[in-house]
Amino acid sequence: MQESEAILPAAVAGGTAVKAAAGAAGGGAAVGWALREIEIIGSDDPPDGLTAEALYEETYSTTQTRASTNASSITDNKNIIEGVDHSLWADAKIAAIEELNDQESQDVVLEAGEEALTDYVATIQENLYKTWNESVAELNTYLEAVEEHPDAELTGVFFGGVNMSNCDSSYSIEDFWIELDQDEAELVDGSTMELHRLNGQNDANADGNYSWSPVDLDENDGACAGENSDPEVVTIRTDSEGNTIAENRYLRYADWNEIAEKIEEKYDEIKGELNVWVDGVYGDVQSGELDVDDLLTPREQAELTSEDEDFPQAIADLQALNVGVDLEREAEIYLPDVEATVWGQIAYSGDDKLETGEVDPEDKDGSIYLTYDVSEGAGEWSAHEEGLDGGVLVFTSEPFVDTIYYVDTVAGETVELTADDFEADEDFEEWTVDLSDDLDDAITEVDQIEYYAKTEQTQYETVQLQDTFEIVTFTDSDGEEYDSAEFERSEPHDDDNYISEEEWKEQQERHEELIEKYEDSGGGGIGFLDGEEIPAEGVLLIVLAIFAALFGR
């Protein structure tokens, strides 16, 4: 994945637009960590020879990028843990029924289901903790760089290494340090992982002493202590006078601890119910009635797509977690906060349909995701001063990277710009560029500014839509427009449902029918989203993902 381009994932999802970490999954729906083992994106050390101010800026930018990456994949997607039970149940049930088909004892059947469940949950826990450790290790690199710099001070970029939400106000810290591999987390399979630990202390106020990792919080007994304590790392960006003009908050104890606890709670819940389910299945289903040797779990379906096929992978991941996706209708979405329009596939975990018009995600009973091609997005840029004083254009918000801006003047001239053409002033509140060499009329006003992706190369991102947006229309592959779309999900797994042999045969017949139709079409890919082709294995994955409602009825 490239660095963020026009219509950034963070801008679409809601929040500050920042550069995405190279190779990281963008936006709010990078849910692969809840399905399979993942590789955690590493980081580079800060460049040598930076001035103190440049190091502050580099530290802030890096921590902001990491915060955005973590939010898009984990901390903003706590609700995805509620959907992972669908995939957990499927793995456990298939493992159990395989033993049932082999006419094993009930104890062996139950043990097989529990082992599959345990292995899966341990993988999710490991992904969570690896993500935390990499984030803290990166932070430690920059913390050491600031501490070792002859002209830099810790408080120049760290406003609050600890920040207490239950206190009346925050304050700058006096000391902040990291202890690598200080904590130990026990996974559900009995293995352990070492965790990095954050520490903060304010010498002027003993209430500011905090130490935390995802599994543990130590605090003093001062006025700011108590069950509402919420330590986090806060980095800042300041103007030339030292006033804070922007801040970034991440590695918040409450966020990570909540997810860690939810994972364990989900494991305990399903493990307890699995025994009930095996009792029912063993009594109701004769050995050999159902053969699942060739049946794919949602997790395996998602893994079929190769790593460079980001779009079908994202779709499969969502469906594997029982999030409904309308593959038949492409949505045109208008984002008022960034004045941009994007096109893509909506996924929705709720039970009601979505209709055209204004949509507030907070009013819905489920989460809304959008998979879109950033290279197809377009927007209007209103964050600028109207006048061109001697040809000088002033942006009042930081321009997006890898984005082309077309500036139309009232004199009828157009200038093409990118972020590299701008120069930030000392307090980072304005970005300016001199257009006088490109204009015949340099004393004029801006008529409008439009922006597009700098590259035409397809790049899919999946984000969770969190701010109010507008669905302009839904359009099918024939160009017909609709004012609504429905999102069908299979019945969530629990301890009293399983697929019958008859239902399995019906699914197999439907699979074969769809695959045959696909092969008859040529087998090299089908037209999808304005001509974009998905290779054969990607189409097969989508076919399977749509209709394989494993063990649900």
Q: Check the CA dihedral 116-117-120-125 and report its sign.
A: negative
Residue 206 has pLDDT above 60, yes or no: no
Single out the residue of 494, 70, 93 nearest to residue 266, CA to CA.
494
**pTM for the complete prediction?**
0.75
The two structure tokens encoding residue 121: 């949950």
Look at residue 86 in the predicted model and tell me its pLDDT.
83
Question: How are beta strands 158-160 and 175-186 bridged, if at all?
Answer: unpaired
| CA torsion angle 236 242 245 249 (round to 10) | 20
Beta strands in 295-443 (DSSP E): 324-325, 329-335, 340-348, 354-355, 357-359, 368-373, 378-380, 387-388, 392-395, 403-409, 414-417, 423-424, 431-434
Q: Is the pLDDT of residue 271 over 50?
A: yes
Q: Is the dihedral of CA 107, 113, 118, 119 positive or negative?
A: positive
Nearest alpha-carbon partner for 193 in 127, 267, 271: 127
269 φ/ψ angles, rounded to the nearest 5 degrees: -65, -50
Per DSSP, what are the bridge partners of residue 329? 476
The average pLDDT across 465-470 equals 89
- The mean per-residue pLDDT over the stretch 47-69 comes to 88
380 has which bridge partners?
450
> How would DSSP label each residue in 419-451?
GGG-EE-TTSS-EEEE-GGG-S--SEEEEEEEE
Name the least confident of 16-25, 432-441, 500-509: 16-25
pLDDT at 494 exceeding the cut of 90? no
| Contact in structure between 113 and 308 (CB atoms under 8 Å) | no
Structure confidence at residue 371 (pLDDT): 82
Tens digit of pLDDT for each residue in 296-313? 676 776 665 544 454 556
DSSP string, 245-288: EEEEEE--HHHHHHHHHHHHHHHHHHHHHHHHHHHHHHHHS-TT
Over residues 82-92, mean pLDDT = 85
pLDDT at 549 over 60: no
Q: What is the pLDDT of residues 384-430, one digit of tens each?
A: 999 998 999 999 988 877 788 999 999 999 999 988 899 887 566 78
**Span 499-525, pLDDT tens digits:** 555 655 554 554 455 445 434 433 322
Q: How far apart are CA 75 and CA 541, in angstroms?
A: 28
Q: What's the pLDDT at 112?
A: 96
Q: Which helix (H) or strand (E) holds 482?
A: strand 481-482
State the Rg of the chain over Cα. Answer: 26
Query: In the prediction, which pLDDT does 141 show?
Result: 94
Domain boundaries, the chain: 32-260, 291-354+470-547
Burial bucket for residue 71 (CB in 10 Å: 0-12, 13-18, 19+): buried
